[in-house]
């Protein structure tokens, strides 16, 4: 199946700093990628939909100025957590949409565990 590479897998940062997470589609072009957040022992919550060449669409309650999403190419989307605070500590997962001959599929990255001290 298609491979989605997400880096870094784990990051620890100080409060007030910014962290960038990358999501790459390795063997296909992804016009649309999705960013999810998962708090401990909870479900995945969609944060935003990232479209190549256009502004991301954010879900209600997600601060777009805090979670900056850039999808400048068909194989790369980035999520930058700006001025991170301890409450931003979470597991962040990206997924990319692939259109196949008969259906649409979503492939997930391996996730990034963000810990803000």
Partner 1 sequence: AQTVTQSQPEMSVQEAETVTLSCTYDTSESDYYLFWYKQPPSRQMILVIRQEAYKQQNATENRFSVNFQKAAKSFSLKISDSQLGDAAMYFCAYRTGTASKLTFGTGTRLQVTL
Exactly one of 21, 24, 25, 34 binds partner 1 (CB under 8 A); that residue is 34
Coil/strand/helix, residue 86: helix
* Residue 97 in the binding site for partner 1 (CB under 8 A): yes
Instruction: Please name which of 38, 75, 77, 37 lies closest in space to residue 55, comparing C-alpha atoms.
Output: 77
Query: CB under 8 A: which stretch of 15-23, 63-71, 72-80, 108-116 binds partner 1?
Result: 108-116
State the residue for tokens 């409060």. Answer: 15
What whole-number distance in Å separates Cα of residue 80 and Cα of residue 8?
Answer: 12
Interface residues with partner 1 (CB under 8 A) are: 32, 34, 42-46, 49, 91, 93, 95, 97, 104-106, 108, 110-111
């Amino acid at each position: 199946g298609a491979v989605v590479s997400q880096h870094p897998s784990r990051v620890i940062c100080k409060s007030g700093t910014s962290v960038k997470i990358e999501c790459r589609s390795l063997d296909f072009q992804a016009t649309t990628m999705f960013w999810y957040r998962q708090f401990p022992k909870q479900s995945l919550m969609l944060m935003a939909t990232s479209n190549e060449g256009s502004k991301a669409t954010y879900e209600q309650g997600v601060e777009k100025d805090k979670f900056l999403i850039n999808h400048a190419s068909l194989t790369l989307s980035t999520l930058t957590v700006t001025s991170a605070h301890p409450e931003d500590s979470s597991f962040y997962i990206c997924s990319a949409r692939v259109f196949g001959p008969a259906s649409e599929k979503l492939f997930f990255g391996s996730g990034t565990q963000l810990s803000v001290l």
